[in-house]
Amino acid sequence: MILSSPSTLIDVNTSNLFKRLSEFKSPKERRDFLKNKLKIKLDLIEKALVEKEKDLHCENLVGATILPLGVAGPLKIESEKLKVKSYYIPLATTEGALVASVNRGCKAITLSGGAYVNTHRIGATRGPVFYTGSIRKGEYFYRWLKKNSDQIAKVAESTSSHLKFKKYDIKTVADYAYVRFYYDTQDAMGMNMATIATQKIIEMIEKETKIKCLSIAGNFDNDKKPAWINFINNRGFKAWGEVILSKKVIREVLKSRAEDIFEVWLAKCMVGSAMSGSSGFNSHFANVIAAFFAATGQDLAHVVEGSLGITIVKVLDNGSLYFSVYLPALMLGTVGGGTQLKTKQEALSIVGAKTSLELAEVLAGVVLAGEISLLASLAEGTLAKVHERLGR
């Protein structure tokens, strides 16, 4: 029996489809081709496109899709860097009850005097892997990097006036060396800037040391994957948020008791997370972050890093409830990438954050609101009822 090679199994029409899509000059030509080829309608996808093609970074463009956009708030926030301010929060989602839940959390926080938040810029990271050839050469490579850190910074910063080189970490195993470069990319999320700067560093390293880079991304970044390195060493921004909820707010807004919420938090976020081997000791960071990212034009794959983090709950002596969240790796920005889209700019204008640091602080408060409301709902036993009424 003669087995066909994979290439001979490719459908001729399918191959032609891929070829022709890339050859069309406009979204309309691609839509017309698909409508005729697949016998379908794409009228709404066409109408949803409000941007000019030249302003978009999407290949084989045919149109756009829409996510429903809800708004939660006001959410009162205070920080060391910013004055006390109330924010409205745009959330793009297809999940019923999410916006309502975050809105309830915002109300509980605001009626309790507001959340205190704090952020610290870690920077965008890019982590190439080099082949040294031996442990001996790995030691040489380590010492060379240490000796030439100023030159590395100079090369990196030559690629953009908006980028500052911060530091690097290095780990070696056998004949591989993994280097994690950190960059301050100001108000941009910064992965493109970090990649371009790292490529220039690699070229200099290869020229000076004759040690080959196997990949500019060696999973030591660690970009868009759940990883303890991002939990421990952080990435983008790390952020904290806290609030003390009074007994009255817990009773009247959250319809629960401090002791009940605490018991659910302990069993779910702590013990349940440990039992499952979770990298996130929280209720649903990713739920809130995904909706916020989709609304404001962030890279959705970085929800992975955002899902990391810890929620802490304590019952205080007076019966009030201390609530806190810690997010070790928030990759976001207010300029560049998807934030340039008109609808995303309008959503960002709802928030009103002037910098990426302020946006991270707002998001810490929003995540805190989401954690409060969900844990209260679980303690009350109303999660299924609410989703039955408001949607999945």
Output the pTM of the full model.
0.92
pLDDT of residue 143 exceeding 50, the answer is yes
Distances (CA, A) of 49 to 34, 142, 333: 17, 50, 23
pLDDT of residue 392 exceeding 70, the answer is no
**Residues ≥6 apart with Cβ < 8 Å to 38:** none
pLDDT of residue 5 exceeding 90, the answer is no
Q: How much is the pLDDT for 4?
A: 47
List, by residue number, the catalytic residues. Answer: 95, 299, 387
User: In the structure encoding, which two tokens stand for residue 239, read together?
Assistant: 């952020």
259: closest CA among 302, 314, 214, 307?
Answer: 314
Q: How much is the pLDDT for 381?
A: 86
Residue 33 DSSP label: H
Which tens digits make up the pLDDT trace of 61-100? 999 999 999 999 999 999 988 789 999 999 999 998 999 9
The span from the CA of 182 to the CA of 159, in Å, is: 14
